[in-house]
A = this chain, B = another copy of it.
Amino acid sequence: MTQEQYSKYSFLLDRTARKVKQYAQQQFKSGDFDVTVDQWLVLKNLSENDALSQTELANLVFKDHPTLTRIIDLLSKKGYVERVPHPQDRRSFQLHLTETGVSKVTSLRPEIHQIREKAWENLSPHDFEEFKRILNTIYQNLNGESLGQ
């Protein structure tokens, strides 16, 4: 394969990732979900793992610490998440969904699954598996030290 052909994937990958996020965000907006796509990712992970620290959560969702700080700021301003001081370590917080946060996740989860499915029209379950395999391989190829998950 020539070098020229190889350079296309980064363009298509970026373009598609942006389209997926943009499509979801538009649906979120027209449904008055009151959260962004990235805020949803954080809420969803908090609903599945209680009392995470920000560092633990950052590793889970693969966002860096400054980004996560701001997302938590926004979510707590909206009343979905609380920072509770860690009982032993005064540097750190335990993150909890509020009541409002829990019911937000419960109500949005099925709607968001529907939105996500739209991307897979005309594609097979086998395509889905291949896609995940290739994405993970690329990720690991570029992920110097640690081996990704």
Contact = CB atoms under 8 A, between A and B. Distances in A.
Interface of A: 1, 3-24, 41, 62, 110, 112-114, 116-123, 125, 127-128, 130-132, 134-139, 141-143
Given A15-B62, A19-B143, A142-B118, A9 B128 contact: yes
B113 A3 contact: yes
A10 to B, nearest CB: 5
A1 B124 CA distance: 10
18 contacts: A3-B113, A3-B114, A4-B113, A7-B112, A7-B113, A7-B116, A9-B131, A13-B13, A14-B20, A15-B135, A15-B139, A17-B18, A18-B62, A19-B138, A118-B142, A123-B138, A130-B134, A131-B131
Given A6-B117, A7-B112, A19-B143, 20 more contacts: A3-B110, A3-B114, A4-B113, A5-B128, A9-B116, A9-B120, A9-B128, A13-B13, A13-B16, A14-B20, A15-B139, A16-B136, A16-B138, A19-B139, A19-B142, A23-B142, A118-B142, A120-B138, A123-B134, A123-B138
Nearest to A120: B6
| Most chain B beta carbons < 10 A, residue from A13, A22, A116, A120 | A13
Contact of A116 (B6, B24, B110, B117): B6
